[in-house]
Amino acid sequence: MSRIMACAVALAVAGLANAAAADPLVLQLRGPAQFQYAGYYAALWQGFYAEAGLTVEIQPGAPRGQTPTDPVRELAEGRAQFGVGGTELVIRAAQGLPLLLLAPIFQQSGTAVYYRADADFGSPAALGKAKVARLPASDSLGLELATALRAEGIDPDKLKSTPVEAGQTLGVLADKTVDVAPGSVWDLPWLAKERNLNLKSFNPADYRVEFYGDTLFTLQRLAKNQPDVVRGFRIASLKGWDYALQHPDEIAGRLVATLPRPPGITDAAGFARYQTDVATPTPIAGTASRRAFLASAPCCAPSMPTNFSTTLMPRHAAGPTCAPSRCSARRCSAGLSCWRCYGCAGIVGPRPRR
């Protein structure tokens, strides 16, 4: 009888393990489904995740105007296994969260500083006379503007500022509550066009600082406990981005046809076409802020894949397995052909067009 019970217990445990293995991996996005995340949807729709033996569910972030989704929190509390983040990843890693950066998909942040076309606030120095939108402290758009100001010797706290909640940027620019506001190139210009509001902008990255944009990340413990899952997910995601950038009309059309229309967008198809232009791939060069980004959180440990187009890969098609240490500018400048050093080894990826 004891043997029968032991077998029954073993079968039950095996059944639970198989059920757990079948649970989908959740990818938490930063915002609503749009071409900004096209590569992940392409990886799902083209079967790249399935080819890697992974069942994946893509969870969009909160719509505009609602409290923004925090992908880091979703991972930390176990509701997702992968996430897409930005500049805030540096802060959260500095706070002690064990994050693991897998790939900076967008080599340049999609942040710009917007103002009405009938004004002249085309540089940080000009903002001393402006009413500036002050976004919540957790909003990376405001963080990038503040960083550019400090780089120019300007104290952001001394500017005339007005608190603005997420999703209200266009409205407060239109009604002249503020003169200047940081916003995303992914949607603010399009939303302004639909409201017949003419805006101009400047790029904070032109003023000594330049941040990565959307970055795929996970938790260190997942990479430690399931390295094959993390490696497979990253490779499949990059294949998806490669496909999306080679077939933008196909993926944009499917996004419009199958996913909810972003709130506030009347011409969803036109918006999708606009976003494919925003995501035009362009080569980039490393900067001090990018190296600081990589130094602030560990990079991915798995060896770099060797079978992809260089559209989303470093200059060298192959390289050694990376040591479990942080990437540094010195290693990269020394020519280490290593996926861990993607930030300064010449990776090419989609970059928002200015």
Domain that holds residue 225: 2-108+213-350
Alpha-carbon gap, residue 111 to 299, rounded angstroms: 23
Note whether 104 and 164 are same-domain residues.
no
Rounded average pLDDT per 10-residue block, the chain, 354 residues: 50 44 86 93 98 97 81 96 91 90 88 91 90 81 84 89 85 92 88 90 82 92 96 97 95 91 79 81 44 49 32 29 32 30 31 33
Q: What is the pLDDT of residue 136?
A: 79
Q: pTM for the full model?
A: 0.73
Which structure tokens are listed for 239? 């294949």
Is there a contact between 202 and 123 (Cβ–Cβ < 8 Å)?
yes
Alpha-carbon gap, residue 262 to 264, rounded angstroms: 6
Q: What is the pLDDT of residue 22?
A: 59
Q: In this structure, is the dihedral angle defined by the CA atoms of residues 48, 52, 55 and 56, taken in order, positive or negative? A: negative
Q: What is the pLDDT of residue 2?
A: 53
> How many domains is the chain partitioned into structurally?
2
Is there a contact between 135 and 168 (Cβ–Cβ < 8 Å)?
no
CATH number at 147 reads 3.40.190.10
Q: What is the pLDDT of residue 338?
A: 30
Note whether 21 and 93 are same-domain residues.
yes
Alpha-carbon gap, residue 93 to 299, rounded angstroms: 11
Q: What share of the chain is helix, strand, coil (3-state, %, to 5)?
A: 45, 15, 40
Which of 178, 206, 234 terminates a domain? The answer is 206
Note whether 224 and 341 are same-domain residues.
yes
Alpha-carbon gap, residue 354 to 202, rounded angstroms: 9
340, 344, 346, 350 alpha-carbon torsion, rounded to 10°: 90
Note whether 99 and 119 are same-domain residues.
no
Alpha-carbon gap, residue 175 to 257, rounded angstroms: 34
Q: What is the pLDDT of residue 326?
A: 33
Nearest-5° angle of CA 208, CA 178, CA 135? Answer: 60
Which of 206, 227, 258 terminates a domain? The answer is 206
Q: What is the pLDDT of residue 262?
A: 75
Return the SS3 of 161.
strand
Is there a contact between 277 and 353 (Cβ–Cβ < 8 Å)?
yes
Note whether 199 and 74 are same-domain residues.
no
Among 132, 123, 270, smallest CA distance to 193 is for 270
Among 223, 205, 222, smallest CA distance to 213 is for 205
Note whether 217 and 322 are same-domain residues.
yes
Is there a contact between 81 and 26 (Cβ–Cβ < 8 Å)?
yes
What is the DSSP-derived secondary structure letter of residue 299? B
Note whether 300 and 219 are same-domain residues.
yes
84, 86, 91, 97 alpha-carbon torsion, rounded to 10°: 10
Q: What is the pLDDT of residues 43-99, one digit of tens each?
A: 999 999 999 999 999 999 987 767 788 999 999 999 999 999 988 888 888 889 999
Alpha-carbon gap, residue 174 to 172, rounded angstroms: 5
Is there a contact between 212 and 290 (Cβ–Cβ < 8 Å)?
yes
**Distance of CA 48 to CAs 29, 53, 178, 226, 240, Å?**
18, 9, 45, 18, 7
What is the DSSP-derived secondary structure letter of residue 260? P
